[in-house]
Amino acid sequence: MYSVTITVTEKCNLNCVYCYERVKSSKNMSFETAKEILDEVINYGLLRYDVINIQFFGGEPFLNYELIKKCVDYVQIGFPDERKKIRFLATTNGTVLDFEMKQWLHNNRDIFFCGLSLDGKKTSHDTNRSNSFDLIDLSFFKQNWPDYPVKMTVSPLTLKDLAADVMWLHSYGFKIKCNFAVGINWDNAGSKRILEEQLDILIEYYVNNPSIELCSLLNVNFEKIVTEAFSGDELLIKHCGIGSRMCAYDIEGRKYPCQFFCENALGLPYDEVKDISVNEKYTISLCDEACQSCALIKVCPNCYGANYQSFNNCYKKDMHICEFFKRVAIASSTIQAKRFIKNNYSERRGNRLFFKGILEVQERLRHELIHDYASD
């Protein structure tokens, strides 16, 4: 899969508390620039990949709806034989979709996936996202893309409501792609304990509701811990397609490894970042010393762009997120093990290595986190 992000506008009507885009302006991408990008990426992608994802980005992308529509029409007409290989996506704040846009999205829902940023129940969403909850037509997204998750971001302000927000979204029928906000200040005393309390609530919730698909945060792949550890390999596999299977274009049409590096996001000159790359496999020695011996290094979430934004180093992680993920991994392993036991082995019957990974994580992190409790 080749993922291409095209920044169609720098405009946004919101001011979300965790937004990593340092520059907002009234600039839009021109159709001429967009056409050049589409020709380049589609011709390149068709030779190498089975699927090309074209994601429209902002700001709020639907503030340049006309360009989005033109781009989709251009591709549909210009590449008629390749329609099945090209998909369109956008993540929207949901607040600017008028009747015409909704009609167009509905008519194109099979080729254009429109994801919604939704941070939970009204109070949390409003806290994070400029009091915009009441402006969103939730049912529109549920009806048109019922199997696709909303994008929920957790901030320091809403961490205390993590469980309630997840449960509320599930009660509405949404699946959830959930992560902690990156590139922001998580240095808040008590966050670890707050997270543990929230995870305890979610453990009980998910075990008692086995048919609900885990939010992505808690859907850790424990098999990776075991299989890659056994290989004795000291190379880590790149977590995303940054710079290879993935690229991004800013409104001027300049190409970057991903959208995090765009000038409006990072605030750094193009020439400084355009050649940044992360190898498909890289040595563990590039990582923080604390990470090198961590049980979770093979599965730890890693946004290379956020790392670069915070530390000028793609491999250096925010250690607050590190501490969060240890707790998340324990909760995930507990949920999946308990579901397995409770359902009389019928759940997850298919992966012995996955459960070996669960046991390894439980054993190694129990010792570490218990010491963590003692030192508080």
Partner 1 sequence: MFLNEKELSIIQEAIDNNEIEQVDEEIGACSECDGTCDSYCYTVS
Among residues 34, 299, 309, 318, which is the contact residue for partner 1, using CB under 8 A? 299
Query: Is 99 or 196 the residue whose CB approaches partner 1 more closely?
Result: 196
Q: Nearest-5° angle of CA 302, CA 119, CA 305?
A: 25
Among residues 350, 371, 375, 376, which is the contact residue for partner 1, using CB under 8 A? 350
Query: Is 167 or 199 the residue whose CB approaches partner 1 more closely?
Result: 199
CB of 239 to partner 1, least distance (A): 5
Q: Specify the pairing of strand 176-180 against strand 235-237.
A: unpaired
Reduced 3-state DSSP string for 64-128:
HHHHHHHHHHHHHHHCHHHHHHEEEEEEECCCCCCHHHHHHHHHCCCCEEEEEECCCCHHHHHHH
Distance, in Å, from the CA atom of 199 to the CA atom of 218, rounded to the nearest integer, reads: 9
Q: Specify the pairing of strand 235-237 against strand 246-249.
A: unpaired
Residue 237's DSSP bridge partners are 281
CB of 112 to partner 1, least distance (A): 10
Stretch that binds partner 1, among 9-17, 25-33, 126-134, 221-229 (CB under 8 A): 221-229
Query: Considering the rule CB under 8 A, would residue 5 count as an interface residue with partner 1?
Result: yes
Token pair recorded at residue 151: 């994008």
Cβ partners under 8 Å of residue 347, min gap 6: 210, 339, 340
Query: Considering the rule CB under 8 A, would residue 1 count as an interface residue with partner 1?
Result: yes
Phi, psi of 270 (to 5 degrees): -55, -45
Token pair recorded at residue 83: 């329609």
Could you give the string, one character per residue 146-185, with x where binding to partner 1 holds by CB under 8 A and - elsewhere?
A: -xxx-x-----------------------x-x-x--x---
Query: Considering the rule CB under 8 A, would residue 84 count as an interface residue with partner 1?
Result: no
CB of 337 to partner 1, least distance (A): 6
Which residue, chain included where needed, has tokens 């009507």?
13
Among residues 58, 59, 115, 120, which is the contact residue for partner 1, using CB under 8 A? 115
Stretch that binds partner 1, among 40-48, 74-82, 267-275, 329-337 (CB under 8 A): 329-337
Alpha-carbon distances of 107 from 110, 111, 226, rounded to whole Å: 8, 9, 45
Helix or strand holding residue 56 (H, E) = strand 52-57
CB of 91 to partner 1, least distance (A): 5
Query: Is 123 or 205 the residue whose CB approaches partner 1 more closely?
Result: 205
Query: Considering the rule CB under 8 A, would residue 249 count as an interface residue with partner 1?
Result: no
Query: Considering the rule CB under 8 A, would residue 65 count as an interface residue with partner 1?
Result: no
Query: Considering the rule CB under 8 A, would residue 250 count as an interface residue with partner 1?
Result: no
Cβ partners under 8 Å of residue 297, min gap 6: 236, 284, 287, 291
CB of 357 to partner 1, least distance (A): 10
Q: Specify the pairing of strand 255-256 against strand 246-249.
A: antiparallel
Nearest to 112 by CA among 83, 137, 132: 83
CB of 99 to partner 1, least distance (A): 24
CB of 147 to partner 1, least distance (A): 6
Query: Considering the rule CB under 8 A, would residue 319 count as an interface residue with partner 1?
Result: no
Query: Is 158 or 302 the residue whose CB approaches partner 1 more closely?
Result: 302
Name residues contacting partner 1, limited to 39-58 (CB under 8 A): 51, 53, 55
Query: Considering the rule CB under 8 A, would residue 258 count as an interface residue with partner 1?
Result: yes
Alpha-carbon distances of 155 from 134, 151, 197, 209, 279, rounded to whole Å: 20, 13, 16, 26, 30
Query: Considering the rule CB under 8 A, would residue 219 count as an interface residue with partner 1?
Result: yes
Among residues 345, 371, 374, 375, which is the contact residue for partner 1, using CB under 8 A? 345
Give CA 373 to chain center in angstroms.
30
**Residue ranges binding partner 1 (CB under 8 A):** 1, 3, 5, 51, 53, 55, 87, 89-91, 113, 115, 147-149, 151, 175, 177, 179, 182, 196, 199-200, 203, 216-217, 219-224, 239-241, 245-246, 258-260, 299-303, 306, 327, 330-331, 333-334, 337-338, 340-341, 345, 348-356, 358-359, 362, 366
